[in-house]
């Protein structure tokens, strides 16, 4: 009897590998059939790598991956990424129709397949519905004209400090070597964000650690999402955890300072000033939602993310485009010179920025790296199933050009309207609105849109006025690199020379 039972047990153990193999084979078969059913007649790979899909190619060579998807003459293609069916849309009209439908029950922001693990539990990016709208309303005091004026002064001080470093570096090399601006622009944006958002509450040591952790986060965004010791994704998660703790501490310090009657000196102060009023009104009751230090720290990290890599991309493309259109650059310089002089010893004011209509038109542009959205019940072209992810084309596959801004009373300079600086768009395309519906219309990027535009205007105004720059144009220099937003492949290498007698100091 015992021998019979033992034989039966051994037979079961011997069958386990076969059963597991059969289960895996069944899963792979069903996955392929599901993909084929959803794909239907759409262009795309006939079969996909189980579960992973095309993620390896996307990480290894993003430009080649997007080029392959964009090759379809239909304006859309199908693919499969990490268990998710993906529809890549290139057609302008179809992009409008799909992205116009952004109701909470229709689209859910993805951004990154494992973004929720990276951004933390208090990320505004993944919120929706009434809670999202309520929190967005609470951000309003952060971007009043008074607050934006405070930020503008900070932005200019940081931009000037970095322009001086770039010029010193170029002068030290005798102006013979171009300066690759992408990383310097990124460093400038990070310092600007730190100072504008939480400036008084970060020590020099904290800023250095902040920069290191944010770099780990950026690397983790582009790495294979393996959450194990020694992998970039795990290092990114740990870096974000430290960043969130630091920002939560800043929120507590800001609350204490504002409670003592201090004057707001950064975004966190304006936010905490209004938050404390709400908490005082609720005295004796439960604290209002979204007022805890950890939650506020998570939301400020969202602001930091929104203000960082997309702005770096925008600045690089602005420099490249201005160099390619010297007549437009001359018009920008003339407009700025009529309103502000480096010899004034004063920063550019909000009123002066408001008058820089031509410069605003030049920098106004579409989104540098639109993220995919989960399609739950949105408009779909015939044959495209629900439940997948919709990804709008970006970079040179954005159809047709990135922007078309018509400025009343501003004539065409040499046949080039300020809006059609291509900034990563497609030459020769007809114009479309600067923002497709549904792009940058959620959360921090929405309420911070004015801040981001001011940053671009100030950078272009100061760079054009103070610096002579010439792009080191080599073959393929404007091909796309994904970092994770799009940037020139050569990191926007330029020759720099000081244009005025002395740089302003304020």
Cβ contact 317:368 at 8 Å: yes
- What contacts 267, CB < 8 A, 6 or more positions away? 142, 147, 151, 196, 197, 198, 300, 303
Question: Pairing state of beta strands 486-488 and 389-392?
Answer: unpaired
Taking residues 231-245, what's their average pLDDT? 91
Rounded distance, CA 471 to CA 454, Å? 24
pLDDT exceeds 70 at position 426: no
Q: pLDDT (tens digit, 9 = 90+) per residue, 192-226? A: 999 999 988 998 888 899 889 988 988 887 777 78
Percent of the chain with pLDDT over 90: 30
pLDDT exceeds 70 at position 422: no
Q: Is the dihedral of CA 12, 18, 20, 22 positive or negative?
A: negative
Question: Would you state the torsion angle of the CA atoms of residues 493, 326, 343, 451, taken in this order, to the nearest 10 degrees?
Answer: -70
pLDDT exceeds 60 at position 141: yes
pLDDT-based confidence at residue 322 (cuts at 50, 70, 90): very high
Cβ contact 80:86 at 8 Å: yes
Taking residues 351-363, what's their average pLDDT? 90
Q: What 3-state class would DSSP assign to 282?
A: coil
Q: What confidence score (pLDDT) does residue 469 get?
A: 95
pLDDT exceeds 60 at position 330: yes
Q: What confidence score (pLDDT) does residue 278 get?
A: 81
pLDDT-based confidence at residue 91 (cuts at 50, 70, 90): confident
Taking residues 326-340, what's their average pLDDT? 94
Taking residues 3-9, what's their average pLDDT? 56
Percent of the chain with pLDDT over 70: 75
Q: pLDDT (tens digit, 9 = 90+) per residue, 373-407? A: 444 433 444 444 444 444 444 444 433 222 222 22
87 versus 341: the higher-pLDDT residue is 341
Least confident of 96-100, 133-137, 478-482: 96-100
20 versus 418: the higher-pLDDT residue is 20
Q: What confidence score (pLDDT) does residue 203 get?
A: 87
Least confident of 99-113, 155-169, 443-457: 99-113
DSSP string, 469-504: EEE---TTTTSEEESSSEEETT--EEEEEE-SSS--
pLDDT exceeds 90 at position 311: no
Least confident of 26-40, 327-341, 349-363, 365-379: 365-379
397 versus 341: the higher-pLDDT residue is 341
Q: What confidence score (pLDDT) does residue 180 get?
A: 94
pLDDT exceeds 90 at position 414: no
Taking residues 43-59, what's their average pLDDT? 86
405 versus 120: the higher-pLDDT residue is 120
pLDDT-based confidence at residue 450 (cuts at 50, 70, 90): confident
Least confident of 86-100, 255-269, 457-471: 86-100
Cα angle for residues 382, 383, 389 (degrees, 5° grid): 100
| CATH fold of 124-366+402-498 | Cytochrome p450 (1.10.630)
Q: What confidence score (pLDDT) does residue 462 get?
A: 97
Helix (H) or strand (E) holding 326: helix 326-339
Rounded distance, CA 418 to CA 312, Å? 21
Taking residues 318-342, what's their average pLDDT? 93
pLDDT exceeds 80 at position 33: yes
Closest CA to 335 of 317, 357, 316: 357
61 versus 128: the higher-pLDDT residue is 61
Q: What confidence score (pLDDT) does residue 365 get?
A: 52
Q: Is the pTM of this model over 0.95?
A: no
Cβ contact 192:158 at 8 Å: yes
Q: What 3-state class would DSSP assign to 253?
A: helix
Residue for token digits 């080039």? 416
Q: What confidence score (pLDDT) does residue 361 get?
A: 85
Q: What confidence score (pLDDT) does residue 248 get?
A: 93
pLDDT-based confidence at residue 8 (cuts at 50, 70, 90): low
Rounded distance, CA 372 to CA 98, Å? 12
CATH 1.10.630.10 residue spans of the chain: 124-366+402-498
pLDDT exceeds 70 at position 415: no
Cα angle for residues 273, 277, 280 (degrees, 5° grid): 135
Alpha helices in 199-292 (DSSP H): 204-221, 232-259, 267-281
pLDDT exceeds 90 at position 329: yes
Taking residues 425-439, what's their average pLDDT? 33
Taking residues 365-377, what's their average pLDDT? 43
Rounded mean pLDDT of the chain? Answer: 77
Taking residues 433-449, what's their average pLDDT? 43
């Amino acid at each position: 009897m015992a021998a019979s039972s033992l034989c039966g047990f051994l037979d079961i153990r011997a069958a386990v590998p076969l059963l597991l193999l059969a289960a895996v084979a069944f899963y792979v078969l069903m996955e392929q059939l599901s993909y084929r059913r959803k794909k239907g007649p759409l262009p795309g790979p006939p079969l996909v790598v189980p579960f992973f899909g095309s993620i390896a190619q996307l990480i290894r060579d993003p430009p080649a991956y997007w080029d392959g998807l964009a090759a379809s003459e239909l304006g859309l293609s199908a693919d499969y990424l990490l268990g998710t069916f993906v529809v890549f849309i290139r057609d302008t009209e179809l992009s409008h129709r799909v992205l116009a439908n952004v109701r909470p029950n229709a689209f859910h922001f993805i951004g990154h397949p494992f973004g929720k693990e990276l951004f933390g539990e208090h990320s505004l990016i993944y919120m929706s519905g009434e809670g999202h709208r309520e929190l967005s309303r609470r951000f309003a005091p952060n971007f009043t004209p008074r607050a934006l004026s405070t930020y503008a002064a900070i932005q200019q001080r940081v931009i000037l400090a970095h322009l001086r470093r770039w010029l010193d570096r170029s002068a030290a090399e005798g102006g013979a070597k171009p300066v690759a601006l992408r990383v310097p622009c990124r460093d400038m944006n990070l310092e600007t964000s730190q100072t504008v958002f939480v400036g008084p509450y970060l020590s020099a040591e904290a800023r250095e650690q902040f920069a290191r952790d944010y770099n780990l986060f950026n690397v983790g965004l582009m790495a294979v999402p393996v959450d194990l010791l020694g992998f970039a994704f795990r290092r990114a998660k740990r870096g974000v955890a430290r960043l969130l703790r630091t920002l939560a501490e800043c929120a507590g310090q800001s609350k204490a300072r504002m409670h003592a009657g201090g004057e707001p000196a950064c975004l966190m102060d304006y936010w905490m000033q209004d938050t404390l009023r709400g908490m005082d009104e609720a005295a004796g009751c439960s604290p209002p939602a979204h007022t805890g230090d950890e939650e506020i720290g998570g939301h400020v990290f969202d602001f930091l993310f929104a203000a960082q890599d997309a702005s770096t991309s925008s600045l690089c493309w602005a420099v490249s485009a201005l160099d390619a259109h010297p007549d437009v650059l001359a018009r920008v310089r003339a407009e700025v010179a009529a309103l502000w002089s480096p010899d004034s010893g004063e920063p550019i004011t909000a009123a002066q920025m408001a008058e820089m209509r031509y410069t605003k038109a030049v920098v106004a542009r579409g989104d540098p790296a639109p993220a995919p959205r989960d399609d739950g019940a949105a408009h779909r072209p015939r044959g495209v199933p629900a439940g997948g992810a919709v990804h709008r084309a970006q970079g040179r596959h954005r159809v047709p050009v990135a922007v078309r801004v018509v400025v009343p009373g501003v004539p065409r300079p040499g046949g080039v309207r300020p809006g059609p600086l291509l900034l990563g768009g497609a030459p020769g395309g007809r114009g479309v609105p600067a923002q497709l519906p549904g792009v940058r219309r959620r959360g921090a990027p929405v309420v911070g849109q004015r801040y981001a535009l001011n940053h671009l205007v100030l950078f272009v105004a100061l760079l054009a006025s103070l610096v002579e720059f010439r792009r080191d144009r080599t073959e393929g220099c404007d091909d796309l690199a994904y970092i994770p937003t799009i940037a020139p492949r050569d990191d926007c290498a330029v020759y720099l020379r000081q244009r005025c007698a002395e740089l302003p100091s304020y």
